[in-house]
Structures are given as structure tokens and as C-alpha cells.
Amino acid sequence: SAVISQKPSRDICQRGTSLTIQCQVDSQVTMMFWYRQQPGQSLTLIATANQGSEATYESGFVIDKFPISRPNLTFSTLTVSNMSPEDSSIYLCSAARGETEAFFGQGTRLTVV
Amino acid sequence: QKEVEQNSGPLSVPEGAIASLNCTYSDRGSQSFFWYRQYSGKSPELIMFIYSNGDKEDGRFTAQLNKASQYVSLLIRDSQPSDSATYLCAVDAGGTSYGKLTFGQGTILTVHP
């Protein structure tokens, strides 16, 4: 399996500010995704990060709030914009090369105060 | 709307017992099925995947899939306290959506000495 490096691992941010999370995979992958895990909840898919084009967002998530970039096959960023305390969650990057495995970065624990 | 449901927890078993975790899914076209383990404060780690009907064994873990019943389970034999974690069932729709996972709400497993 590939190794995903995600940073920062945690951050405490002021409301109204933005945070950009980086995800680096150690080998080329075809698919990259961003998930959110709210406290005590399971994982919810935010969007599919498409290489060289706009991300595909799931219902309830919009580009203005969660802009995503994927300039190449191994790197993606997620920005959480204009943060509020409700954005306090763990954000996880995921990657897949085929249909038999999807693996995760270590996550970014975000607290908005 | 695709749904993945896991048996309600928390589940508590004595050390050495078999832990049985169950999951049903609503999308009959789902292709691949995953079990992840998540320790508190950590990202999910893949335990097993299965995409053919029947059983798949890996060490103390056995995944069972019944596509007709839209049911997937995970058995943990000889449970150890280190198995105590949240177990997440995830379903991959496959095709052009491979790697894009829908997660169940998770089952908390506690293995007591």
C-alpha cells in the first residue's frame, strides 16, 4: 500500500480564518478523496480531488467552503474557509490505486475557537 | 441515497472469545467491501477487503459477504484487548467511483481481560 503524509496533524484556529491541509502520497494514485469525521461520528466524504480539474463535491459540501486542489497525481490540498466552531473535526485524505484498497493519511485534527 | 448500517454497539466480549460485527448496505450495485479499525484519535486502518461472495480469512479475521442479502460481516477470533477499537464497515460502489467509500456509523468493540 502507499504511504500518505498529511499535514498539519492538528491545529487550533480562530473563527473566520482559513486552514489549508496538505496530502502527499509516496506513489502515483488514480483517485484521491477528502473526508470529514466530526466528533463521535463516522467518516463523511467531502469531495473527490480530480487531477488538473475542479473537485467533485458531495451533497452538502461546496467549493467556496472547501476549495480543493490536485495539481498532480500525488498531491492534494483541502482548504477549510471562513471557519466556525462547527468545522471542528478530523479531516482525512484518502487515496486509491485500484478497486481493492483505499488507504488513509493520519488525519488533521482541527479545533476552531 | 446509499446507506451502510452497522449493528449497534458498543459490543463487549471477553478475551479469547469471537467478536461478530455486522453490516448491511442498500446499494445492490456495490462492488467492494472493507473493514477498517480505528483507534481513538487515530485514522482508520484497513483490516480486510472482500468482493466475492463467501468467506475470506486473514489470521484471526474472517470477512463474510452475501450480496444477495446485502450483508457483510467481520469475525474476530481469539479476541485480544488490543482489538478494542471502533470498527468501520465501508462500501465501494466500484466502476468509475472506485475508492469512493460510504461508511457505516461504526461499532465500538471492547475486549475485556
With 70 as the cut, is the pLDDT of residue A58 above it?
yes
Mean pLDDT along residues A15-32: 93
Residues of A in contact with B41 (CB under 8 A): 109
**A9 or B100, higher pLDDT:** A9
Interface contact B51-A99, CB threshold 8 A: yes
Residues of B in contact with A105 (CB under 8 A): 43
pLDDT score of A103: 85
Which residues of chain B carry a pLDDT beneath 70?
1, 95-97
Q: Which residues of A44-65 are buried (b: 16+ CB within 10 A; e: fewer)?
A: ebbbbbebeeebebeeebeeeb
Å between A58 CA and nearest CA of chain B: 11
Å between B41 CA and nearest CA of chain A: 9
Neighbours of A74 (CB within 10 A): 18
The mean of the pLDDT values for chain A is 92
With 90 as the cut, is the pLDDT of residue A46 above it?
yes
